[in-house]
Amino acid sequence: MISTSTAIKHLAGQGGNPVKMTIAADALAAAGLVPTDDRQPLNAEQAVALLLGCCSPIPEDAAQFALERGALHCDNVSLRAVMVGHLSDAHNPPAAVHVLHQQPHVVIHPMTSEDPAEFGSAFSCGGFRTETIISGGLLSLMAMKLKDQS
């Protein structure tokens, strides 16, 4: 089992700011994307919303950010569906998920030699860009915790 509060602890262990992630989780709860009780178990869809929402550069806008990024498509499949699939199968995590802040663009890098899957419009940057990287190890951990019902 994984709850919002437990997930935030794991995200903070990966370098996330727990204060900003708590604000993001509150915004997600207010939008109905995660449970209002942060100790209640999450399902895979809620975990994806939390992961994407915590990537928002403005924590108060986490719900809009999560919905916008989750709705991006690659090969007619939404990012939300792909990430739910990864959280449903702990044996098949990607190497990393790069969530761009400036523009709706997400890249999933697989563990295999396959090309990365790009969600959203093509992006080129002439200067600096900011992004949040979700590690495959964190996704595997969350997938295992989602399967554990205790």
**Model confidence over 53-68: pLDDT tens digits?**
999 999 999 999 999 9
List the chain domain ranges.
Answer: 4-147
Higher pLDDT, 120 or 30: 30
Contact between residue 100 and residue 129 where contact means Cβ atoms under 8 Å apart: yes
Does position 96 have pLDDT exceeding 80, yes or no?
yes
pLDDT, position 90: 67
- Residue 84's CB: how many other CB atoms inside 10 A? 19
Mean pLDDT of the 123-149 span: 83
Chain-centroid distance of CA 8 in Å reads 12
Of the chain, the percentage scoring pLDDT greater than 70 comes to 94
pLDDT, position 149: 62
Contact between residue 56 and residue 24 where contact means Cβ atoms under 8 Å apart: yes
Angle at 97 between CA 101 and CA 38, to 5 degrees: 80
Mean pLDDT of the chain: 90
Does position 150 have pLDDT exceeding 60, yes or no?
no
Confidence of residue 114 (pLDDT cuts 50, 70, 90): confident
Under DSSP, is residue 126 helix (H, G, I), strand (E, B) or coil? coil
DSSP string, 78-103: EHHHHHHHHHH-TTS--SEEEEESSS
